[in-house]
Structure 1
Amino acid sequence: NASSAFEQSSDKSKGFLIVQTAPGKVVTHRGGTITLPCRYHHEPEDVDPNHIRIKWTKVSDAFQFEDVFVELGRQQKAFGSYRGRVSLERAGPGDASVIIHNITLQDYGRYECEVTNDMEDDTGFVNLDLEGVVFPYYPPSGRYKLNYHQAEEVCRQQDAILASHAQLHKAWLEGLDWCNAGWLEDGSVQYPISQPRVQCGRKDSPPGVRNYGYRHKDDECYDAFCFTSNLNGRVYFLKRFKKVNYLEAVKACQRDDAVIAKVGQLYAAWKIQLLDRCEAGWVEDGSIRYPIVNPRTRCGGPEPGVRNLGFPDKKFRLYGVYCFRRNTDVQSTQAPKETITKPANSTRSI
């Protein structure tokens, strides 16, 4: 019985209207399709269905509300970036579940399902999680140069969003160790330590995610922790006879019907597509990086990861290049409709 997987969000003493949503979270990836489960039961059962309003809203950590979808009788409306991507599942009486197609990074988060009739209303919540990868980022200008708004923008420029605390904590559980503090999407500043050491707090402190708390978004500067998910395309190292400077690298990708890869795209290719290449190459922000899934001698140390050699002179330093070619068939990233009602990590841990 599918409804047994639902939990009751609240219990009205008279029970005129009860909304039930999925416990845990539902999990998908960028480009996928997902159902956010929500059911309702009302008494008396002969309420005119044209008087029942179903409304879905996205709720941020700061309790800001973004309208997603509303239906009243036969009237429906989707809002903002959800237009053309959202519909009700309609699996039977009492089903208020919503289907979101072509999931984006910005869809990650917490959703409220509200059902209202002439006498009562009730709500339930569903958490939408994405498979993906967290990566630390700092710009060519150096470490601790980004206020909150600049951190948001550099993540966006690198095909990512600012990571949440839950995403950073999960990355720490998978081994992420980074000694520089960075902004998260809720305005806090944190950093993950797997191997405590003197230069990263204190050596005798336990491993964990260190937290500076909520900082001033305009005046204080740190690095950023970004999050990205599946690619609608492929990252690859462009095979060439000679190494090139940055401008030549950009043109070389264009001649190959591609573009120079962004940092987030290289991380997604490493984590999700298991790209492993022991050759340093230019990426879009002017840094030199290379992805290692299987660590080996002369490939940058004993741990897997995306190696970063910094930001060399764009004109005179010569390297290879990582390109990104987008899939021409948009449907190739669409996943079958899936609803997972428990925490899941189907991305291979590296």
Structure 2
Amino acid sequence: LLSGHPLKLSRVEPGQYPDGRPPWKTRLLLEEVLSVDTAQPKVISQRGGNATLQCKFNRDPSSPPNPKLRIKWTKLTSDYLKEIDVFVAMGFHKKSYGRFHGRVHLQAASENDASLVITDITLEDYGKYKCEVIDGLEDDTAVVSIDLEGIVFPYFPRLGRYNLNFADAEKACRDQDAIVASFDQLYDAWRDGLDWCNAGWLNDGSVQYPITKPREPCGGKNTIPGVRNYGMRDKQKERYDVFCFSSNHKGRFYYLIHPFKLTYDEAVRACQKDDAQIAKVGQMYVAWKLLGYDRCDAGWLADGSVRYPISRPRRRCSPTEAAVRFSGFPDKKHKLYGVYCFKSLNDLIQYSSAEGRDIW
């Protein structure tokens, strides 16, 4: 229109739409000046791994090269209300932001490749990313998701059930080597058999819980299985449990062989004496789910709870199901148990170097 040339309108008939557009719509037959797309809308990785978020752009071949063409990557928050800067490139100028600094770069496999490589993936890297290409007055975007292999687990603190507002829930998960789970992660866990009758926070501020076996206290026995949804709740005033998510950890989770049972403080010191730290709840769940860890000995964990992981159900050891068994929050001074420890990869490397051993 600006050039003064008329536009040609064409009616697309049924069966004549190779680009997939609905046949009943009339569209303008215009050559696209800039388009951005992704060949892989979801990438699956794990904590500590790498991921390449595919993004390519196509320009009008008749357009001259644009040295000021700009590629921008942002991360969408779980509520889609904000975008977090990740990486920007324009010509020779490149910049990464915040916790992504030093961990992201463009793949640049070709002149129209805007794919982003993220190294040393963290739990917080989970989510959706927007690739935006700006070419003068033209711009286009595509969205790519990072999914992580891992496990969702319900959590409540020593104070008891329904004692966490949203900020408390975020801290509770962080303290257990995890993050607040997303709805997609909880839904996948439900499909995998997670059944939990207590409502918990998710990372978008909603409160939900998964039911595989409908029963009266959990929405009613005549309801269908599913993820029950309380909707969006007041993050400051309302209190619930939380669903946490954790992924592969770099280190060794193990039950400490010790000549006698321990109080909580003794358990902490015993792990430290073994050049380790008392393990966290998320680390136990990851070892159980991803590594098949199985131990029928109840042991202290960092939050003061006592649990044990069973991958092979048997008499006296979770006879009906594979599960992380929970024995409660005993009196730290008088109840005696074993302890589960965690030794990080850096600690393992230092220990192996000092002892002259192969860490594997």
Gaps of 5+ in 2: 1-19, 22-27, 350-360
The yes-or-no answer on 1:257 pairing with 2:275 is yes
Cα contact 1:12–1:18 (8 A) shared by 2: no
Q: Which residue of 1 aligns with 2:339?
A: 321
Cα contact 2:41–2:143 (8 A) shared by 1: no
**Quick one: distance in 1 between partners of 2:141 and 2:211?**
38
Amino acid across the alignment from 1:34: A
Q: Which residue of 1 aligns with 2:76?
A: 59
Q: Which residue of 203, 215, 234 maps to 1:216?
A: 234
Q: Which residue of 2 aligns with 1:25?
A: 42
CA deviation after TM superposition for structure 1 residue 14, in Å: 3.6
Structure 1 stretch displaced more, 133-142 or 112-121: 112-121
Q: Which residue of 84, 87, 109 maps to 2:105?
A: 87
**Quick one: distance in 2 between partners of 1:102 and 1:250?**
29
Structure 1 stretch displaced more, 95-104 or 45-54: 45-54
The yes-or-no answer on 1:35 pairing with 2:59 is no
Larger radius of gyration: 2
Q: Which residue of 1 aligns with 2:216?
A: 198
Q: Which residue of 1 aligns with 2:205?
A: 187
CA deviation after TM superposition for structure 1 residue 45, in Å: 5.1
**Quick one: distance in 2 between partners of 1:174 and 1:45?**
52
The yes-or-no answer on 1:295 pairing with 2:320 is no
CA deviation after TM superposition for structure 1 residue 168, in Å: 0.2
**Quick one: distance in 2 between partners of 1:267 and 1:47?**
55
CA deviation after TM superposition for structure 1 residue 47, in Å: 3.1
Residues 1:116 and 1:329: Cα distance change in structure 2 (over 3 Å)? farther
Q: Which residue of 169, 174, 182 maps to 1:164?
A: 182
CA deviation after TM superposition for structure 1 residue 303, in Å: 1.1
Matches of residues 1-350 of structure 1 in structure 2 within 5 Å?
13-44=30-61, 46-63=63-80, 64-328=82-346
Gaps of 5+ in 1: 1-6, 332-350
1:328 aligns to what SS in structure 2? helix
**Quick one: distance in 1 between partners of 2:347 and 2:51?**
20
Cα contact 2:251–2:348 (8 A) shared by 1: no
Amino acid across the alignment from 1:252: A
2:248 aligns to what SS in structure 1? coil
Residues 1:323 and 1:330: Cα distance change in structure 2 (over 3 Å)? closer
Cα contact 1:22–1:126 (8 A) shared by 2: no
Q: TM-score, normalised by structure 1?
A: 0.89
Residues 1:12 and 1:88: Cα distance change in structure 2 (over 3 Å)? farther
Cα contact 2:276–2:347 (8 A) shared by 1: no
**Quick one: distance in 1 between partners of 2:102 and 2:203?**
26
**Quick one: distance in 1 between partners of 2:99 and 2:129?**
15
Cα contact 1:232–1:330 (8 A) shared by 2: no
CA deviation after TM superposition for structure 1 residue 61, in Å: 2.9
**Quick one: distance in 2 between partners of 1:45 and 1:277?**
67
Structure with larger RCO (C-alpha < 8 A, sep 6+): 1
Q: TM-score, normalised by structure 2?
A: 0.87
The Cα offsets for residues 100-119 of structure 1, whole Å up to 9 and x where unpaired, read as 00000000000000001113
Q: Which residue of 1 aligns with 2:10?
A: none
Aligned length: 323
**Quick one: distance in 2 between partners of 1:330 and 1:163?**
29
2:145 aligns to what SS in structure 1? strand
**Quick one: distance in 1 between partners of 2:41 and 2:74?**
18
Residues 1:12 and 1:323: Cα distance change in structure 2 (over 3 Å)? farther
Residues 1:166 and 1:12: Cα distance change in structure 2 (over 3 Å)? farther
Residues 1:178 and 1:121: Cα distance change in structure 2 (over 3 Å)? same
Cα contact 1:233–1:325 (8 A) shared by 2: yes
2:332 aligns to what SS in structure 1? coil
% identical aligned pairs: 55
Residues 1:68 and 1:329: Cα distance change in structure 2 (over 3 Å)? farther
